[in-house]
Amino acid sequence: MAFLSVLAAMALEHLRPLRQPLSYYRSYGRFTQWLERRFNAGEYSHGAIVWALAVLPLLAGVWLVFALLDGISPILGWMWNVVVLYFTLGFKYFSDTAEQIARLLRAGDIEDARTRLDAWRGGDASQFSADELARVAIEQVMAASHRQMFGVLFWFVLLSSLGPVGAVLFRSASILARRWENATGLFGGFARRVFHAINWLPARLTALTYAVVGNFEDATYCWRTQASAWPEPEEGVVLAAGAGAMGIRLGQGVNVGGETVWRPELGTGQPPEADCIDSAISMIWRGLAIWLATGLLVVIAGWIS
């Protein structure tokens, strides 16, 4: 049933992708900001309590609806799984944005490409060169593929006996870790630590997926030697393996506000160009195909046994 839920949600998300702005994510973001303003006294324990307030009622509500619907009919429980997965995945709308940036770069429309990237990542891309735009767009789409797809699918399947609780757990933990990343004092420490624990294995499975569908040797080499230098260790694992698998270089310097901001170098080979954005998206979809094929084999093995 979990495999069919994933398959249906992915098909629905492909046929009718979510479009920004996502009102429910914005509402949850405003709620987390209110919690931070109301309860942040700079203490680690306060962050732990508020994290529980932001996540546990949400998980309990999602599970309760699943339990009620599944008690009436397993089909209703399955439909609830599909709906929640549909609203927690959402990789397609990020890949569409990346494809738009690639088209703009090929057409030489740097200004519109900057505007698209700036709206997507929420940072200053107003002085990015074409090379920097391609590089950062690939980083964004690889990170989104993990946070909005592979990580969600992993936890959904792992906790499938509880309905879509795993998908909501991963997405909410991811949002809180980012929202409270720069919170004053130690308030955001618990959110980062929890997401690190939740994300440790899925990030490495995503990296392994990139290695399998790309250059395995270079992907694993970059993963081992470069990932730890990235500010977010699990994201570094994903990006280093992805860059190595594609044979391109990510990270490095970007021009922000007239100054060069240096970041660790990831990958091997040449700097990426616009076509590499499409190649990155293609690599991600091949990786998804491997996950779905693996899931189908597990289902068939279960039927046979």
DSSP codes of every residue in 29-87: HHHHHHHHHHH-SS-HHHHHHHHHHHHHHHHHHHHHHHHHHHHH-HHHHHHHHHHHHHH
Structure tokens at 175: 């949002």
Average pLDDT, the chain: 90
In tens, the pLDDT along 183-211 reads 777 888 899 999 999 999 999 999 999 99
Helix (H, G, I), strand (E, B) or coil at 213: helix
Q: pLDDT grade, residue 230 (50/70/90)?
A: very high
Examine the pLDDT at 19 and tell me if it is beyond 80.
Answer: no
Distance CA 182, CA 189 (A): 10
In tens, the pLDDT along 282-305 reads 999 999 999 999 988 888 887 887
pTM of the model: 0.92
Q: pLDDT grade, residue 21 (50/70/90)?
A: low
Distance CA 119, CA 122 (A): 5
Report, in angstroms and rounded to the nearest whole number, the Rg of the chain calculated over CA atoms: 20
Question: What pLDDT is stored for residue 210 in this prediction?
Answer: 96
Question: What pLDDT is stored for residue 249 in this prediction?
Answer: 93
In tens, the pLDDT along 272-284 reads 999 999 999 999 9
Q: pLDDT grade, residue 91 (50/70/90)?
A: confident
User: Which of 25-39, 67-81, 220-234, 254-268 has the least mean pLDDT?
Assistant: 254-268
Examine the pLDDT at 154 and tell me if it is beyond 90.
Answer: yes
CA distances in angstroms from 150 to 1, 82, 106, 167, 205, listed in the order given: 18, 16, 29, 10, 8
User: Hey, where are the domains in the chain?
Assistant: 2-304
3-state SS of the chain: helix, strand, coil percent to 5?
A: 75, 5, 20
Question: What pLDDT is stored for residue 225 in this prediction?
Answer: 94
